[in-house]
A and B are shown apart, each in its own frame.
Chain A
């Protein structure tokens, strides 16, 4: 492409942005797996006023290294803080035009921990934003985990119109509960105080730095890897593609109040992914559990958990089965048509980099 065409594209993109290059932007969870890429993406797009918030306990060496590549004139600061502190929230939101809220955390087993670190922190950030009238967009990074998927038949499409869990506490998954409640509080504050927002819901974000296999493919809870996904497509999104989608959704004019799902193109099936993983990372034994059987086992576990008053925690249940292991197709059409996103890293290349990262990670483990 000729330089003039690139320039035209940039100009067109800038015209569609809600904020300018010198407007201050806050990124929470900036040192996280996706957060680092969001910061990088914003820097690459020429944004010069970035506040990157990380936890006190976070080792921000990678972020510092990234920030050191700043262009001349850019003011990019790394702030250590705690989103549970209203004072810290007030400090970092002062005067910002956009907030990319990626911070999340806490134990995936403890509901109160997950809730506190996800929902209470989001509420603090929203309240601080209300005090400061400069905010033009609050980007809440949610998750596919919020969708219920119970009402649909096999192979039906999961997109932004699908319902979210109305009783997330029954999923037995603290992360799902916290994310549903986080979305709710964002919408509530947006309605009450007119905060402009978008919600982005990535599928399973993968890339170098992650070494685990997503539970949508299978689990090794019982000492042997149980392959549960079968022929299901896995809703992968490569971390760089995901970060770009988040950034674009955060900058695009005219999408306030919208929800965007983030999945890449050419999704591999669970079986294809597992074969590739074994071939490229490590060999291990796995047992395929057909869908009917995994559904039955989830039913039995759920009933036993209820009957025994929680002697075994309700971590396997029908709601989780529907959300994780039912045959489902995924769509990224809305993101492509309304935000103009396309996954720049093709699936094959993303998987290659991921497997390389897994091999390196295992060597250093």
Chain B
């Protein structure tokens, strides 16, 4: 029986506890939060053996794996401490605040013969796994020519209110602020298919008129990024709080065909590279798209009936794969190269946003 612990008992910890509960062969031996009441409420709602407010005491319960679901500021320190104490670590995204920290954690895990992963669970949904299998089968032709990743976020009134009203909110302390807590999934989708370690990254970000109208000037909630690696593969990344629909999509184009993955609808659409002759191009592809959408519908219904269309099915798959890699010594589900590349791209974006942020114009001096 794999012994699991959770550190940080906020909103995302609920998802971890419920998905771990669906996996056979593991048990949650303890949960920990610096706020004892938060640890207790999680303990009371899930089959969990003990609750703690001290990380050292939690680790004394000798868990095999620790899930870190605290705010990102503390990821590095807690993950490092857990690795040093001999635990495998699953860190919620982002893995750390900077790529150097991610590198340190990976080196430490390797040194100690431990496993490390990060919560890029969107890449493990049913549809995302189908897409990955197709790419591996060579459907795209030669490697990706271009990719587009949309990872948007509807800034609801509750979250916007909490964030805008509280100048001490932990999101404000992150180098990338709001973006730092959200864009990981979208960037990681691109990093998975990039082949070099240092692509060129150009970022453009700004505070949306919506947030500006609420008096906000620091929180960037519109971001466009261009990524290019050695004049080979290019990629666009879009984050928007205002764009509708609020897309969570990934598009990938090869030399022969392309694919569109929709995370919200759990659909994958094949884009056929060849064209039909003359007017057939106007009639046949729409029919083929209709057929594909119908197939996606039938597949989703089937998955639902098989009780595997949970909102966090990607998380369950990732956790399960991670545990298997620990127990069977197989490779980790997300390569360390991909984790590091994601962190590096995010670093590059945040550096540019901080440098390029327009400074308030100097007021004309009165004589």
Give A contacts to B, CB under 8 Å: 55-58, 82, 107, 110-113, 115-116, 119-120, 123, 169, 177, 181, 185, 307-311
Contacts and interface: CB of A to CB of B under 8 A. Distances in A.
Nearest to A169: B45
Interface residues of B, number: 28
A116 B10 contact: yes
B166 A112 contact: no
Contacts of A58: 165
A119 B38 CA distance: 9
A120 B304 CA distance: 37
Nearest to A105: B158
Interface string B151-178: 0000000100110111110000000000
B11 interface: yes
B310 A119 contact: no
A58 B157 CA distance: 11
Given A110-B14, A112-B11, A309 B22 contact: yes
A116 B310 CA distance: 26
A123 B36 CA distance: 11
B37 interface: yes
Contacts of B304: 311
B161 A57 contact: yes
13 contacts: A55-B165, A57-B162, A57-B165, A107-B158, A110-B14, A112-B14, A113-B10, A116-B35, A116-B38, A119-B41, A177-B41, A311-B304, A311-B309
A309 B158 contact: no
Given A57-B161, A308-B307, A111 B166 contact: no
Contacts of B37: 115, 119-120, 123, 185
Contacts of B44: 169
Nearest to B12: A112
A157 B308 CA distance: 43
Contacts of A116: 10, 35, 38
A57 B41 contact: no
B42 interface: yes
Given A111-B14, A115-B38, 7 more contacts: A55-B161, A55-B165, A57-B161, A57-B165, A112-B38, A112-B42, A123-B37
A107 B156 CA distance: 11
Interface in B305-346: 307-310
A120 B45 contact: no
B interface majority secondary structure: helix
B58 interface: no
Given A112-B41, A112-B42, A120-B35, A310 B18 contact: yes
Contacts of B161: 55, 57
Contacts of B168: 82
B164 A307 contact: no
B11 A113 contact: yes
Interface string B3-41: 000000111011000100110000000000001011001
Nearest to B313: A311
A3 to B, nearest CB: 46
Contacts of B167: 56
Nearest to B13: A112
Contact of B45 (A56, A111, A185): A111
B310 A310 contact: yes
Question: In the complex, which of the residues B22, B41, B42, B165 has the most CB atoms of chain A within 10 Å of its own CB atom?
Answer: B41
Nearest to A55: B165
Contacts of B164: 57
A111 to B, nearest CB: 6
Contacts of B162: 57
Interface pairs A-B: 3 shortest CB-CB: A57-B165, A56-B165, A57-B161
Interface string B40-52: 0110110000000
Contacts of B41: 111-112, 115, 119, 177, 181
A365 to B, nearest CB: 13
Nearest to B22: A309
Contacts of A55: 161, 165
Contact of B307 (A111, A112, A181, A307): A307
A107 B11 CA distance: 10
Nearest to B44: A169
Given A56-B167, A115-B41, A169-B45, A311 B310 contact: yes
A120 B38 contact: yes
A311 B307 contact: yes
Most chain B CB neighbours (cut-off 10 Å) among A82, A110, A115, A169:
A115
Contacts of A113: 10-11
Nearest to B164: A57
B177 to A, nearest CB: 17
Contacts of B21: 309
Nearest to A109: B11
Contacts of A107: 158
A169 B43 CA distance: 11
A30 to B, nearest CB: 15
- Give the one of A112, A113, A185, A309 with max B CB within 10 A: A112
Given A119-B37, A310-B18, A112 B10 contact: yes
B77 to A, nearest CB: 22
Nearest to B162: A57
